[in-house]
Structure formats: structure tokens, C-alpha cells
Amino acid sequence: MSQLFGWVPTHGGDAAGDVVAGMSAALRVDDGQRIGTWTLPGIAIGVIEPPALSDETDDREPAASADGRFLLWMAGEAYVSGDAALALADAAASRTRAFRRALLDRWLQTGVDAVRRLDGEYQIAVWDARDRALSLVNDRFGGLPWYWAQAPSGWAFAGGVRGVLMAPGVRAEPDLDALREAVTFGGFRLADRTNVASVRMVPGATVQTIRPGARITSRYWTWADIAAQPARDPRDLVPELQARWKAAVARRMTDRARYGQTLSGGLDSRAILAEASPERAWTAITFGVPGCDDEKYAARAAAAAGASWEFQPLYAGDWLHERGAHIQPTDGLIELGDLQHLESLPRQRARFDVHVSGYVGDAVSGPTFAAVATPADALLQLPFYGTSISLDYNLALARVTDLTGALHGAPARYTLFEHKLPQSTNRWTAAWRPWLRVRKPFVDYAFFDWCQGLPVSARLEGQLHERWLRASYPACFASIPNHKTGMPVLTPRWRVQAARLQRGAWARLIPYLPRTVRPSPRIRSYADNDRVWRRPDTVDAITRTILKPDGLAVGVFGRALLSALIAPWVAAAAAPAQVIGALYVFEAYHAGLERHLREARQKSEVSRLKSQDAHTSAFRLQT
């Protein structure tokens, strides 16, 4: 993925180049990724970018001030600047050294205000060579994950936990409290936790200032900065919503590239399909179990939009092994169920260069989370799993209450935007980024702020999201069902309920019909974890990993308690799959972490020796 990584010695001394060389070896997952590293007095820093697009120059060099005192690196890209003094033509322009120089000039004039309205997904580093001070800034939503750690001899930062762990003195001991949180809150860790006690996540809109012997952080934007919009009839809001949506999508489709998406049977990805695909060649990939609603509805939507469509069956081949291969590259931060998003990655890599993602669309302009008004509401939406190994409800509620209280007075729903969504969606889209540009129009700053500033009633009772989609894209929404209801949007609730009762009655009748006329049962969910995960060989692999005698979870919860949790799951009784998936990934991650880091060190050493050999050969040739 696009990221900056580096090492700043505690006492401002020279930074060894082999530190960032080791980091790049741990972070790189494909030879096609472009990497540059720089070692200067007081800092060693690197940048990783995916393969260049057709109209992109391969220039990762930092911008420098006229006197050479300041340097600016940038990873990722931006789409529009709200600062009139910082012109930005398109995403490609944001990836040039000319833009980095203009951004540096603006930074020296206004400080962090230079990025406050810079809409994109990026990481920026500004180095002051005289004062040995480093400023690190990310976009407001933290679209590119970032992590950091302090060791006795310095500070490390990277877009992957494994990169941070390559720095000298950064320890890899597991964070057992992170495991307790993961099995309590739907597989997620809250606040800044990772699976490693010494390494922390960086929230969005954060400025980190690292000087010799100190690290200071602040937020340059908060959820409370979103301005309230006046109440209006939802029908009158549709034209403005559509205009903002069209602009958001257009800003993310300015490169000459192959575009595509993963397309579900829901609404958010279909909104992208309806707006973007008529403008260019488009590939939509749907994954799921064969015959599921998502497959049927996505195929119809792709046909209506004139897009190329492909289906990727889930659980094909040795799916558990294939998902497991992504655990180290994703730092064990994606539980087993959500690793399904990576099964279509080979197909995506073959079909497109830019993935336009429907990230959090229903939560931005639709009803999801709109009714969350208290910490208790937020807790249930995380979700909270009250299993035998979860935190007690009151302890869990107190944890979420603290997080909600840190929102500077913003509504409680932003607890989920701050702590759940970066993990539930940012992490697996980040896993695509070594090969693809990922762009998310629903978090376009202008679109997001306007939608979230509307009265909650517009998105709930007013059904703004549904009105907008049906009015703007009737071919994709008027007759094609939403997989949540099995009916098109804006279908009256009584009809939705009547159809549900009818389907239930028909399902009960099917076993009594002759086999020759018996239809296939409806498959509502695109996943089938309840059945597939319980295949004997899969059950054995999962339970053997979780219940191994020296396992971390056994040490935390005890073998008897874990066995009691797993037994009903094995017997096909109700049990949260996310808890099982979180336990499995945590164990597999820490079991393989040291080997992964050791192999990265070996790669780094081989690269160093090759570089020395090449330098020596060149010297001999010159002499």
C-alpha cells in the first residue's frame, strides 16, 4: 500500500540506513511496489507506492525548500484542495514533486492548515533539518493505516505493524488486552491498540511532531467540526445530494486507468456502478456462495449499467490456507471472516488498476448508525458479544463511554466512525493497495460533511438515501432488490413484511413438493461460515490453533472456558463466528510473527550485500 515509514533516533544522531532497509523488506508484499529510502542526519525515511498508472511519472523524491532546510515526502494521493492557494488539478497532479513543493511552501506559511481541507487518502512527512524535527500528518479519516512505537533509542513509524517491529529495540510481545477487546467488540480493538503491546495505531487527522527525546500529537480536525445543515424536506435534498455525489465520483476517476469494483447485492457499491460505469469500460466483481442473492442482484445491476461482470465463489480451493497467507501482511488485524475480502484479490489485480470502493456509504448518507445517540447504542453497534470470554457488559460500556466522551461533544455515532470503521473496512482495502489504487467517494469531504450535517430524521424517517438512489438511477434501483430486504428500495414496509411471510410459507412448503418441481432454496447471505467453517478438517484446524496448550488465548481465558465456548459452535449451535475468527487470527499471527520478521531481516541483508557488490563492481569498472 501507499505509506511512509521511518526511524528517528532519540538523541538526534545519525540514523542507520539498515533500519529502513529492514522496514521496507518487512512491508513489501510484491515486487511491483515502488520503494524509495533516504538516510539523513537525524532521520531515516522511506516511501512505498503501488505500480505507477499509465500517466504517472515514477518520482518519489521529496520536495525541498529553497534553502534546503525543509523536506516534504508524501504517500498516497489527494483529489481536491479546499485551499485556494494550493491548486490541485486532479489525483495525478497530487503525486508529482511539483505538488509536493507547493504543499511544502503552503505548510511553511500556514502549518497544518495546509492539509485541513486537502481531500484524499495520504500520509505526509515534513523534516526540519536544522531543528531535527519531524512532522507526520495523515488525512482526516486515516485512510492509509499508520502505526508507531517508541524504543529506548528512537521512534519508529510505518503503515504496517511489522515495519515498526523491524526498528531496533521495538518488542513484539502480544497485547493480551487487545485480544480481550477483539472477542468482546466484534473482532475489533478500540482506540489505538494493535495485537502488539508496544505498537499503536494512529487515528485520522493527527499531527505527530517528533523531536530529539519527545513526541507530541494533536488532532487538526474533529467530528465536532461538521457543521449542522438546516432541516428541509428530504425530497428537496435529492438534487443537491446527487450533485455532490457526481462530483465526488468524478474527482476519483481522472486517471487513464482500468477501473472497477467489488459489487454486492446492496446499495452502496451499486451507487458507484450506476454513476461511474457509463463513463468508461468497467469491471464489477461479485463474491459469495453460488446462487446467493448478492450474485443475482449484482448480475442484474451490472447488466442494467452495461458493465462487465464476474462472479468469484467464496471458499474455493484451500480457502483457510489462502486466507491465512494474508494474516502476517495484514498484521493480524482482520479477523477470519473479513479476510474473505481478499479472496477476490487475484481477480481484481488482473482486471483493474483503480478500485472505486463503496466504503461506509450507508453510514454516510443512509440510515446506518443514524439512530446511535448514546454510548449504549454505540456498544451494541460495534457489536458487543456477551460471550463467556467477553468483557462484562458494564466494563464494555464504560470503555465505550470513555471513547464517546472524547469526541469533543460530537454525536455518539462518531464513536463507530472513529473506532470501528477504520478496522472493519480500511484494513482490508489497505490489503489491496500494494497492487491497486483504492478510492472511496462516500468519504469525499464535501459529500461526507454535508450528509452527516443533515438532521438525523432526513436519513431515517425521510429515507433520503433510498429516495436519492431511486430518483437518480432508476435502472439500477427501481426494480432490482436490495439484498437486505429482498425488495427494491422504497417498497412500503407492509409489502416487505408480506413478502417475507410469503417466502417463509413457501420455504416450509418446499420439503413436501415432489423433487422434480422443488425449487432451490433462497440463499440470502453471500457467506456461509456456519456450514463451511464446521467442515471436519476446518474445525480441526481452527480448534487446534485456538486450543493449543501453549496458546495465548488458553493462557488468558483458560482451556476449559475456551472449550466450553467452542463446543456449541462445533455442534452447529449459535456462536459468534467473529469471536472464533478473532481467536484464530490472533493465535496464528503471533505464532508466525517472529518467522516473518526473521525472513524480512534475511531479505534485507541479501539486498544490502547485493547493493554492496553492485557498488564495488561499478567502482572497479570506473577505475
| 145 and 234 belong to one structural domain | no
Is there a single domain that holds both residue 203 and residue 246? no
| Domain end marker among 165, 198, 224 | 224
Q: Do both 190 and 271 map to the same domain?
A: no
Going by the DSSP 8-state scheme, the letter that residue 597 receives in this structure is: H
**pLDDT tens-digit map of 152-190:** 999 999 999 999 999 999 999 999 999 999 999 989 999
- Note whether 81 and 116 are same-domain residues: yes
Q: Is residue 442 included in any domain, yes or no?
A: yes
The owner of cell 471513547 is: 403
Which helix (H) or strand (E) segment is 240 a member of? helix 234-251
| Same structural domain, 145 and 30 | yes
Tell me what pLDDT residue 571 has.
81
Tell me the average pLDDT across 453-460: 95
Each residue's pLDDT tens digit, 461-507 = 999 999 999 999 999 999 999 988 888 998 887 677 766 665 555 55
Q: How far apart are alpha carbons 345 and 352 in whole angstroms?
A: 11
Q: Is the domain of 292 the same as that of 341?
A: yes
Mean residue pLDDT of the chain comes to 91
Last residue of some domain: 454, 479, 512? 512
Q: Are residues 196 and 333 in the same domain?
A: no
Judge if the upstream peptide bond of residue 51 is cis by omega within 30 degrees of 0: no
Number of folded domains in the chain? 2
Which is higher by pLDDT, 520 or 218? 218
Residue 139 shares a structural domain with residue 159: yes
Query: What is the residue type of 111?
Result: G
Look at residue 308 and give its three-state secondary structure: strand
Question: What is residue 502's predicted lDDT score, i.e. its pLDDT?
Answer: 58
pLDDT score at 273: 97
Cβ atoms 115, 94 nearer than 8 A: no
Share above pLDDT 70 across residues of the chain, in percent, rounded to a whole number: 92
Q: Which helix (H) or strand (E) holds 218?
A: strand 214-219
Q: Is residue 17 part of a domain?
A: yes
pLDDT of residue 368: 95
Q: Is residue 616 part of a domain?
A: no
- Choice between 2 and 606, residue whose per-residue pLDDT is larger: 2
Within-domain flag for 582:
no
What pTM was computed for the model?
0.93
Query: Is residue 507 assigned to a domain?
Result: yes
Q: Do 194 and 53 lie in a common domain?
A: yes
Statement to judge: residues 216 and 239 lie in one domain:
no
Q: How far apart are the first and last CA of the chain?
A: 41
Asked if residue 412 lies in contact with residue 381, where contact means CB atoms within 8 angstroms, the answer is: no
Q: Find the domain containing 30 and state its range.
A: 3-224
Judge whether 356 and 439 are in contact, CB under 8 Å: yes
Q: Is residue 523 part of a domain?
A: no
pLDDT attached to residue 621: 36
Q: Could you give the CA distance from residue 44 to residue 46 in angstroms, rounded to a whole number?
A: 7
pLDDT attached to residue 569: 84
400-437: per-residue pLDDT in tens?
999 999 999 999 999 999 999 988 888 889 999 999 99
Segment 54-81, tens digit of pLDDT: 878 888 999 999 999 999 999 999 999 9
Q: Based on the fold, state whether residues 187 and 305 are members of the same structural domain.
A: no
pLDDT tens track for 110-137: 999 999 999 999 999 999 999 999 999 9
Residue 547 cell numbers, joined = 486450543
Contact (CB, 8 A) for 434 and 50:
yes
- Reply yes or no on whether the pLDDT at 211 is more than 70: yes
pLDDT at 619: 32
Dump pLDDT digits (tens) for 340-359.
Answer: 999 999 999 999 999 999 98
**Per-residue pLDDT band at 511 (split at 50, 70, 90):** low
Lowest mean pLDDT among 233-242, 445-454, 478-487: 478-487
Model pLDDT, residue 623: 34
pLDDT at residue 109 above 70? yes
The answer on 213 and 266 residing in a single domain is: no
Each residue's pLDDT tens digit, 516-536 = 655 567 788 899 988 899 889
